[in-house]
Amino acid sequence: MAAAPLRVLACGDVEGRLEAIFGRVRAIQAKSGRFDMLLCVGNFFGSTCEAEWAEYRTGAKKAPIPTFVLGANSPDTLSYFPDVSGCELAENITYLAPHFRGVDILLTSPWPRDVGTFANSAGEIDTKKCGSKLVSDLAASLKPRYHFAALEKAYYERLPYRNHMVLQETPQHVTRFIALADVGNTSKKKYLYAFSIVPMSSMDPAELVKQPQDVTENPYRKLRKEAPKSKAPLSAEEEPACQFFFDLNKHQGKKRPSDGKERGDSQPKQAKKPPQPTGPCWFCLASPEVEKHLVVSIGTHCYLALAKGGLSPDHVLILPIGHYQSVVDLSSEVLEEVTKYKAALKEFFRSKGKRYVLFERNYRSQHLQLQVIPVPLDLCTSEDIKEAFITQAQEQQIELLEIPEHSDIAQVAQPGTPYFYVELDTGEKLFHRIRGRFPLQFGREVLASEALLAQPQRADWRQCAAQRPEEAAQARSFRGAFEPFDFSLRA
């Protein structure tokens, strides 16, 4: 049996004329039968309706049907709303706080473009090429708790992703994307998905925004950030239609030219060059100031070098070949190679019975240096390392916060923002936004402390400098040991 439809009345500005609106509602109900609710938009209260409102607030009078009103539109009526998050103002009169939290379930036929960014593999499906950017924008705006899609004849359950910027925005619920295969497929790919869900409107807010351990960054945030500011929002004419009812292109069935000629472009776009240093740089690989005898590996966009005056003979730096100040300034190609070097170093050090600690100080420095220091596995756990950093930070009144494992530091710090950052090879991360003075040797001091490497005399690199022949010998030794793990030699 079909549910009976709700009978709803909607009205415009009441402006405090409570008897007028409720009298009219009573007359309508006497003639046409009972209505389920009254929705009031605009100004419900007037600037001078205290006496009339007091009768409803105290219960002397009652609204004839459940009435829902919106908040103040001017300072004159703010006093009528005791709770900005919404509440019952009087019997049968409820203030709605129209704060959009998202939707529970989103259904789209196409996949969203780039849904696999920051996430587990989608198998044979290339998420950078399949699906629709329009759907990506829709998912980014609606923030569904579940998003189901199809058309690619594949099953893919993506790791959940967050819908807020860590440390910069109020925590929100996560989104789970599930793509389902076609019914009855011969490969026995999953095409039916069963789940239960409590509507977000019925959930405790704290429970709703809990972040699972495997949560990742939002796959669409980078796309929105990189969208040209001068360009109008993406329209259906900017991508080929994938279903007939989406096809708003004038030339149906024809692919858009990709050489730029249709737009009158005469030259292909040139890759953006990294910023140039304002003076001599000790770390730009092309610079004459670079101590090349310390270099142990050179990739396409990055290189690896022993640290001068390192905490240990295998203390290394990951450095961009071009001039970049911090990780948040890196292009996607450079960042991808940084990730490769981190993976190679993790495997290398683990083969030696060690774990690495990586830190970056984007403060009073002009070229990115990712310091990578190995620590014996049997000396301390990852929890010991985090505790040592946090304890020393507290002693120096430094707020060092833990950020989620799958977070992207570019979502925590904007370009040009001074910061200190720690990352363990387990993926655990600590972050401090520098707002004043910051101890330049803080990272080394923590690692050299009695709690970790117990070599406090090596906290200052200038006290650890060796002669050039010794440095060159250490570099040759490291280069030879690292060679089986060096991806740049297999390119």
**pLDDT at position 98, please?**
73
pLDDT digits (tens, 9 = 90+) for 357-368: 999 999 988 899
**Phi then psi for 90, rounded to 5 degrees?**
-160, 170
Tens of pLDDT, residue by residue over 281-292, are 778 887 777 889
- Rounded CA-CA distance 147/107 in Å is 6
Q: For 167-197, how does the pLDDT look when each residue is reduced to its tens digit (9 = 90+)?
A: 777 889 999 999 988 888 889 888 878 777 8
Residue 264: how many other CB atoms lie within 10 Å:
6
Three-class secondary structure assignment of 54-109: HHHHCCCCCCCCCEEECCCCCHHHHHHCCCCCCEEEECCEEECCCCCCCCCEEECC
Nearest to 305 by CA among 315, 314, 316, 313: 316
Read off the pLDDT of residues 401-454 as tens digits, 9 standing for 90 and up. Answer: 888 767 778 778 888 889 999 999 998 999 999 988 899 999 999 999 999 999
Residue 282 CB contacts under 8 Å (≥ 6 apart), including other chains: 289, 290, 291, 367
Q: Confirm if 301 and 337 have CB atoms less than 8 A apart.
A: yes
Give me the pLDDT at residue 480, please: 95
Tokens of 62: 């009652």
Q: Which residues contact 226 (CB under 8 A, 6 or more apart)?
A: none
Reported as a single tens digit per residue, the pLDDT across 347-393 is 999 999 999 999 999 998 889 999 999 999 999 999 999 999 999 99
Closest by Cα among 214, 223, 101, 89 to 164: 101
CA distance 374 to 370: 13
Specify the 3-state DSSP secondary structure of 339.
Answer: helix
**Where would I find the beta strands (DSSP E) of 287-338?**
295-298, 302-306, 316-320
Tell me how many helices (H) and strands (E) the chain has. Answer: 9, 18
Instruction: Indicate the helix (H) or strand (E) that contains 362.
Output: strand 354-362
- Per-residue pLDDT at 307: 94
Stretch 91-110: mean pLDDT: 81
Model pLDDT, residue 99:
60
Give whole-number Cα distances, 50 to 21, 41, 62, 336, in Å: 16, 20, 16, 64
Instruction: Supply the mean pLDDT for the chain.
Output: 84
Closest CA to 280 of 289, 271, 272: 289
Q: How far is CA 121 from CA 66, 239, 255, 335, in A?
A: 50, 24, 28, 19
Alpha helices (H) along 153-195: none
CA geometry: angle at 396 spanning 390 and 399, to 5°?
Answer: 50
Contact 400, 390 (CB under 8 A): yes
What is the residue extent of each domain of the chain? 8-95, 101-118+128-203+242-248, 292-490
Question: pLDDT-based confidence at 457, cuts 50/70/90?
Answer: very high
* 292-490: CATH number: 3.30.428.10
